[in-house]
Structure 1
Amino acid sequence: MYIAYWIVAGLLALFYVYAGMLKVIRSRDQLRPMMSWVDRMPVPVLRTLGTVEILGATGLILPPLTGIALPLASAAASGFVLLQGGAIAVHLTGEDRRIALNVGLTITAAVTIWLATRL
């Protein structure tokens, strides 16, 4: 289970670090081709989402790596499930109805929660 956690959580963390960095660094115009919903969110909300994604990815990696506060890994993965629930709602209320990636990330985060309880 330990190796499975690192594979799943590591991939999830990589995704969220990448997506979070894009939201923190890039302008709305640069994000628009990848994320059609950015026009419906204020820029501070985009920056906050990016920061939350980076911190959540850190929460998936650091507690198991250091052996300190292991429940934080489950909490970070739970936060990603909630985040993706909100993302699905944003997609469904807008013109962009593509939610396959969001559903996949939700499932991956749920598996990460289960694996984190076995560490």
Structure 2
Amino acid sequence: MVIAFYVIAGLAALAFLAAGLMKLARPKDALKQNGMGWVDDFSASAVKLIGLAEVLGALGLILPGVTGIAPVLSPVAGICLVALMIGAVLVHNRRKEPAGPAIGLAALAAVATVLGFLVI
């Protein structure tokens, strides 16, 4: 069960880390040109905050369990990532954009959350 948690949480963390770093590193216009039309609905600082939340959530999935410091924070980070992705699904649905990737990431984070609570 522990191995399953780290495999699923690791995959989720890699996906959220990549997405978050991209939002932090690239300007809003570059994100829009790459197909992220949803950035029109948010300020540049809000897009950066979303990216920061994804990066912190990715770190929160893995680091508490690996370090042994407050391991209950791993599934808590998963809950926060699921909430973030529910917001992403709502934004994409409102804009009539495909929400599949956000739903997939929400499901991955949810599975990591459940496994995290079972492992603790």
TM-score range normalised by the length of the shorter chain: over 0.9
Match of 2:93 in 1: 92
Match of 1:28 in 2: 28
Residue 34 (structure 1) shift? 3.3
Q: Deviations over 1:6-42 (max 9, x none)?
A: 1100010011111111111101121112312111110
How much is the aligned-residue C-alpha RMSD, in angstroms? 1.0
Structure 2 distance, partners of 1:81, 1:4, is 19
Structure 2: gaps of 5 or more residues? none
Structure 1 distance, partners of 2:35, 2:81, is 20
Give runs of aligned pairs for residues 1-119 of structure 1, distance below 5 A: 1-32=1-32, 33-96=34-97, 98-119=98-119
> Post-superposition, which runs of at least 4 consecutive aligned residues in structure 1 deviate over 6 A?
none
Structure 1: gaps of 5 or more residues? none
Structure 1 distance, partners of 2:50, 2:25, is 12
Q: Which residue identity lines up with residue 86 of structure 1 in the other structure?
A: G
When normalised by structure 1's length, the TM-score is 0.94
Structure 1 distance, partners of 2:62, 2:52, is 16
Structure 2 distance, partners of 1:78, 1:99, is 19
Residue 93 (structure 1) shift? 1.0
Q: Which residue identity lines up with residue 7 of structure 1 in the other structure?
A: V
When normalised by structure 2's length, the TM-score is 0.94
Q: What SS does structure 1 have at the residue aligned with 2:115?
A: helix
Instruction: Count how many residue pairs are aligned between Structure 1 and Structure 2.
Output: 118
